Structure 1
Amino acid sequence: MPAFQTKTFRRATTASSSLGEKIGEVYRARLPRHPFLLFGLPFIMIIVAGSFALTPAAALRYERYDRKVKQLSQDEAMDLGLKGSDGEEGIKRNSRRRIIGDDREEYYRLMAKDLDNWEQKRVQRFKGEPDGKL
């Protein structure tokens, strides 16, 4: 008697063979003949459906982040100088320059500056911070 049998092993059909096993057997038999239809197309459909399903979740994430950034308590606003002592909102005087007018006026104002005469100045460094000088 040879060491291995020549007959291939097949499980005996029993009552425990479920519908899922039968469908899986048919799927595996037809997969080599129609690989795109049975594997590629469902894969692409899952990717596209997942994209549509995750879009609202991503939008919610960014909306929550925006709300978190925009919320400032009154104390923080006072510390940052965004509210005056009387509680009125606005930019603290002399802290920032407001742009008055439209874009064209601002463009011409910047173009009127003398850009040929300038001097390069080094930024003051903190103690212990390397300044890049050799």
Structure 2
Amino acid sequence: MPAFPSKKFRPSSYQNTIGAFYRRNLARYPFLFFGLPFVFTIVAGSFVLTPATALRYERHDRKVKQLTKEEELGLGKERRRVDINEEYYRLAAKDLDNWDNKRVKRLPGEHDGVI
């Protein structure tokens, strides 16, 4: 005789419960008793969570204001206006052919990269 019998012990009062009814019919009609409630739960959850998610994003949108391009770049009233043509001519006027390569002074104890 095996240590654990394959037949589970269930009292006689168990036969008339909802759990017994569900177990019996789950084996016969798996889609009706498992698949259909599962699909219903997913669809119902979608309908319930859609307004909640919309509310979440609406509250977030109220907190965030839309910035103009100047505010985004940090340009305020005290900053000069940038004109692309003016910047081009200002850079073109610089002498880019004659320049000296200057090393940055290193901190004490920092390796300077010279071999």
Q: Provide the TM-score with structure 1 as the length reference.
A: 0.43
Of the two, which has the highest radius of gyration? 2
Q: Provide the TM-score with structure 2 as the length reference.
A: 0.49
